[in-house]
């Protein structure tokens, strides 16, 4: 069994850390909120007072944090306790240039960095069935593979540092575009007089279906419960990172830019902390209809 660390115990991280603990590893924990640390310590985790203390005790450190700035701040602190040969695995969604910069920062201390963003939501994190997209040295990836196999089922080594972030940003770009598209389709159909339940039944079995339709409509939009599993704010951050990457790579991204604007509209309307399915709400308000079962 290994000495591991986990920093960032939010909707995703808490489940991933728990699965590593249940697999028998010693997992050192740090999080801004202590309630979840208390919960995981009761299940066998170890409490650390700082990111540096986590790194002093763990040879592999996992992070699952909110923004590139937060990731950099935490990793700088963790490097104070790290030793040459340690491996930092970042499950956050950050920019490609961010991942490369952080890898260079870690390399100065002899620490290897893997950008390893995940997809599958809190449900996948809890079940240990996440898709994990990794960029970094192949030897480092192979060294942490046994732990990644506890967290996920579909594991990919895509190339050098930054490659994992490219794949994740492409995925979340589509999440945003599909969420915006389904909002327009279902508001249009409902406004025009079709029962949204029947419309969902038709589309979910037809060529217009998508994973976002199957996620957002029955779980969030029909019941009108927009408690966040993945928030508008987080999706806005990811789509903005994809738009930035497109500019760097000189790729036209019209749908991405429009989706970014729609997410900004939803944030301005006060829905930033709600689930990304709430992208439908500004259009519902504009048209005076609600897509509810």
- pLDDT at residue 133, as a whole number: 98
In Å, how far are 130, 241, 249 from 271, measured between CA atoms? 27, 20, 31
Spans in the chain with pLDDT lower than 70: none
- Residue 72's H or E segment, with its range, is helix 68-79
Phi, psi of 130 (to 5 degrees): -65, 155
Predicted local distance difference test score (pLDDT) of residue 10: 97
Known catalytic residues are: 168
**228's tokens:** 């966040």
Task: Please choose, from the candidates 13, 223, 116, the residue with its C-alpha nearest in 3D space to the C-alpha of residue 5.
Answer: 13
pLDDT per position as a tens digit, 232-277: 999 999 999 999 999 999 999 999 999 999 999 999 999 999 999 9
Q: What is the pLDDT of residue 105?
A: 98
pLDDT of amino acid 129 = 98
The model carries a pTM of: 0.96
**Would you call 156 helix, strand, or coil by DSSP?**
strand
Write the CA distances from 247 to 54, 100, 173, 240, 250, integer angstroms.
37, 17, 14, 11, 5
């Amino acid at each position: 069994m290994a000495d591991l660390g986990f920093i960032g115990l939010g909707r995703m991280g808490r489940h991933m850390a728990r699965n590593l603990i249940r697999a028998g590893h010693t997992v050192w924990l740090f999080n801004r909120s202590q309630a979840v640390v208390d919960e995981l310590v009761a299940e066998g985790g170890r409490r650390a007072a700082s990111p540096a203390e986590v790194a002093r005790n763990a040879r592999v450190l996992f992070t699952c944090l909110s923004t590139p700035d937060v990731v950099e701040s935490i990793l700088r602190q963790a490097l104070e306790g790290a030793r040459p040969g340690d491996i930092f695995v970042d499950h956050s969604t950050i920019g490609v240039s961010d991942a490369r910069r952080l890898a260079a920062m870690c390399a100065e201390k002899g620490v290897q960095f893997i950008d390893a963003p995940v997809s599958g939501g809190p449900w996948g994190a809890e079940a240990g069935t996440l898709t994990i997209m990794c960029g970094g040295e192949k030897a480092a990836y192979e060294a942490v593979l046994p732990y990644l196999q506890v967290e996920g089922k579909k594991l990919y080594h895509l190339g050098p540092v930054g490659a994992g972030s490219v794949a994740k940003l492409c995925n979340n770009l589509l999440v945003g575009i599909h969420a915006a598209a389904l909002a327009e389709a279902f508001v249009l159909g409902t406004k025009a007089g079709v029962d949204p339940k029947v419309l969902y039944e038709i589309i979910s079995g037809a060529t217009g279906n998508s994973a976002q339709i199957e996620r957002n409509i029955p779980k969030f939009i029909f019941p009108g419960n927009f408690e966040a599993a993945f928030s508008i704010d987080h999706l806005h951050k990811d789509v903005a990172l994809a738009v930035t990457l497109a500019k760097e790579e000189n790729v036209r991204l019209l749908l991405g830019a429009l989706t970014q604007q729609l997410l900004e509209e939803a944030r301005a309307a006060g829905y930033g902390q709600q689930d990304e399915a709430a992208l439908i709400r500004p259009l519902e308000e504009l048209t005076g209809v609600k897509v509810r079962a």
